[in-house]
């Protein structure tokens, strides 16, 4: 179940009224951004995010009254991890997620999935660990073994990307999308207007939206890029840029 703005706002108001902590299940990057904006509207509550390891994308939120000191707290206690072992070389991230959800588990109970050739670490809600251990024995046609592991045993993913150095006439969203995903600017503009592009996990419908260094741009069905930096300008006045295209 997705966390709507109204649902997140209800949780924040509950914490403010009852002066007690609340935890969400795993939130997408977009949902995390929405929650952060909501929290800024409240003077007496705060939140922190945790996905089980430093570079995690999907994270739980701990929403708490500001008078409570959580500086010494480490991982959210509801977060756990499992390791799936077997021949996973022919299986995709989607195969792993599909098999877990096929057990009747909701998506928001599952955090990041870190897949390798021989095994896969999955961050999960503590509620579902035992259920997965008892019921997940096959992914696709491959038999697998599943064990619970400590969060400090999780092997963080190696981020791989292609470097793209190119020139653009401007740093409009349509120009960056066209260059980063190697499509025409016309096609890029059409996809943006159709609501298929996000900048820092917010949908942008304007092809003329100006991109800044460090922005993450996603295009549905085509992946994700990072507008790393502006390197300079050419003699003809075009802008020389560096883009990272995530693999």
Q: Over the stretch 81-103, which tens digit does the pLDDT of each residue have?
A: 999 999 898 889 999 999 999 99
Q: What is the dihedral angle through the alpha carbons of 124, 93, 213, 170, rounded to the nearest 10 degrees? A: -140
Residues 42 and 16: beta-carbon distance below 8 Å: yes
Instruction: Say if residue 39 is exposed, middle or buried (CB neighbours under 10 Å; 0-12, 13-18, 19+).
Output: middle
Q: Specify the number of domains making up the chain.
A: 3
- 71 is a domain residue: no
Q: Which two tokens stand for residue 96?
A: 């792993």
Predicted pLDDT of residue 97: 96
Residue 200 clears pLDDT 60, i.e. is over it: yes
Please determine, for residue 60, whether its predicted confidence score (pLDDT) is greater than 80: yes
The boundaries of the domain holding residue 123 are 79-153
Q: Does residue 132 sit within a domain? A: yes
Give the model's confidence band at 159: pLDDT under 50 very low, under 70 low, under 90 confident, else very high.
Answer: confident
- pLDDT band, residue 72 (cuts 50/70/90): low
The whole model's pTM is what?
0.84
Assess contact for 14 and 65: CB atoms under 8 A: no
Confidence category of residue 1, pLDDT binned at 50, 70, 90 = low
| Whether residues 240 and 165 fall in one domain | yes
CATH of the domain at 50: 3.30.1370.160
The answer to the question of residue 191 being in a domain is: yes
């Amino acid at each position: 179940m997705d966390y709507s703005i109204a649902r997140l706002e209800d949780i924040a108001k509950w914490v403010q009224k009852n002066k007690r902590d609340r935890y969400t299940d795993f939130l997408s990057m977009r949902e995390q951004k929405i929650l952060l904006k909501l929290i800024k509207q409240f003077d007496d509550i705060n939140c922190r995010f945790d996905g089980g390891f430093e570079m995690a994308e999907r994270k739980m939120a701990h929403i708490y009254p500001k008078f409570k000191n959580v500086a010494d707290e480490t991982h959210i206690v509801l977060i756990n991890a499992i390791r799936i072992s077997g021949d996973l070389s022919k299986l995709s991230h989607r195969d792993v997620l599909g098999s877990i959800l096929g057990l009747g588990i909701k998506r928001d109970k599952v955090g990041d999935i870190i897949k390798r050739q021989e095994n896969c670490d999955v961050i999960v809600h503590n509620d579902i660990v035992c259920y997965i251990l008892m019921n997940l024995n096959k992914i696709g046609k491959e038999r697998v073994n599943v064990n619970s592991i400590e969060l400090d045993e999780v092997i963080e993913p190696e981020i791989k990307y292609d470097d793209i150095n190119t020139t653009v006439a401007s740093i409009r969203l349509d120009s960056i999308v066209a260059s980063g995903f190697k499509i025409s600017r016309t096609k890029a503009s059409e996809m943006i207007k159709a609501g298929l592009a996000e900048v820092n996990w917010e949908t942008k419908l304007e092809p003329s939206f100006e991109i800044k260094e460090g922005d993450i741009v996603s295009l549905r069905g085509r992946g994700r890029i990072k507008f790393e930096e502006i390197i300079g300008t050419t003699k003809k006045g075009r802008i020389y840029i560096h883009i990272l295209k995530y693999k």
